Structure 1
């Protein structure tokens, strides 16, 4: 009996220790992720600068920029939905600025609303550079005939629009009736470490309770129903 109890205690406490370690590791990951998100948020709202000559998809991601130019011919409507608003589209257009041609995400247009007339002449917009990671194996191909897309695929959009593979997501400027700016934020960046930590600590508590119960049952004299 002593040997059986010893093995139960060793396995039980060993399992609890591993689960507690996993939960602690997730807490550390949570602190790291919160620090990263804080840095991104600070970068997003920093003072805007001119569009870089050769933007880099890593170092210039979320970079705040300001640019003056004209909206070119063409329009992509990206099917999406917004909390507390419902379904709609992001409007993506070519933007010609300082002899360059880039993509401009104008913002959100609710489902059923008519696309407004694009402004004539130059406009000044402030926003952030972004290369969204929205495409996966389940994303349908765009309908090029109608301009309907199901994700913001910057390289593919740039190829069709004949622009640089660069997107500015509008935050201010170039106001369009009915189109609400949907600026870059950290909402879409996953941060599930808190839930993972709670899961591991909960499993540790359950494992410990099961170990205590098993030890109690093994120590209980046979025939004792009390």
Structure 2
């Protein structure tokens, strides 16, 4: 009887823990879906003005803006890529607008067009504010001699280009795009694997339950 009781307690406890982990992931899924829906609504909202200097925060992240101004003479190139088409570079430059200079991520150029001369040009840009946190301890330092960056480091890029640490990612561009394809901000890249995690925990719970039934069956066979 003690063997039955121990196996039953072990089985029920393990199943309860695994099911609770699965339910927790479902709660996280609901939270993440709400976050993504909020970000999508923020991206698609009516454009407004640039935030005042020093007023950038998570509350203004993804906010749409419409700006008219002139691109800078110097570009920064971040290694990126076209899906299914190979390597490319994201072009980031300073942008003078309304008496201020901010960073503008104009979009992607193919690898062969990286170093093509693109003189300053006047543009009207519909874009979104963004504060990407891409740089980690494992991110290589930018190769300044070849003008290749491996992550968007807004403060460092702004300091190099003499701009405010405000990044606008272009969504629509009116004017001479100079063969640069806008690569707008979307919510597609935000990780949301909570459903897969929940399925994994529930599957483990089912396996644990099956192992418990098998263990009880083995105990019964031995005691017959």
The bucket for the TM-score relative to the shorter chain is over 0.9
CA-based RMSD of the aligned residues comes to: 1.6
Query: Could you tell me how far apart the structure 1 residues matched to 2:74 and 2:113 are?
Result: 18
What corresponds to 1:111 in structure 2? 111
Query: Could you tell me how far apart the structure 1 residues matched to 2:207 and 2:176 are?
Result: 56
Is structure 2 residue 208 aligned with structure 1 residue 201? no
What corresponds to 2:167 in structure 1? 167
3-state SS, counterpart of residue 74 of structure 1: strand
Contact 1:93 1:104 in 2 (8 A): yes
Query: Could you tell me how far apart the structure 2 residues matched to 1:199 and 1:4 are?
Result: 29
Contact 1:71 1:118 in 2 (8 A): no
Contact 1:116 1:176 in 2 (8 A): no
Unpaired segments of 5 or more residues in structure 2?
none
Deviation at 1:57, TM superposition (A): 2.8
3-state SS, counterpart of residue 139 of structure 1: coil
1:94-125 Cα deviation digits (max 9, x unpaired): 10111111100000112223555546553211
Unpaired segments of 5 or more residues in structure 1?
none
What corresponds to 1:144 in structure 2? 144
1:150 to 1:89, Cα distance in 2 relative to 1, 3 A: same
What corresponds to 1:14 in structure 2? 13
Contact 2:121 2:176 in 1 (8 A): no
What corresponds to 1:4 in structure 2? 3
1:74 to 1:121, Cα distance in 2 relative to 1, 3 A: closer
Deviation at 1:175, TM superposition (A): 4.3
Deviation at 1:73, TM superposition (A): 2.0
Query: Which deviates more from structure 2 when the two are superposed, residues 121-130 or residues 169-178?
Result: 169-178
Query: Which deviates more from structure 2 when the two are superposed, residues 197-206 or residues 54-63?
Result: 54-63
Contact 1:91 1:105 in 2 (8 A): yes
Which runs of structure 2 are paired with 1:36-51 in the superposition (5 Å)? 36-51=35-50
Query: Could you tell me how far apart the structure 1 residues matched to 2:73 and 2:85 are?
Result: 29
Number of equivalenced pairs: 222
Which TM-score applies when normalising by structure 1? 0.92
What corresponds to 2:135 in structure 1? 135
Deviation at 1:178, TM superposition (A): 2.6
1:35-88 Cα deviation digits (max 9, x unpaired): 110110011011111212234131110010011111112110101123222211
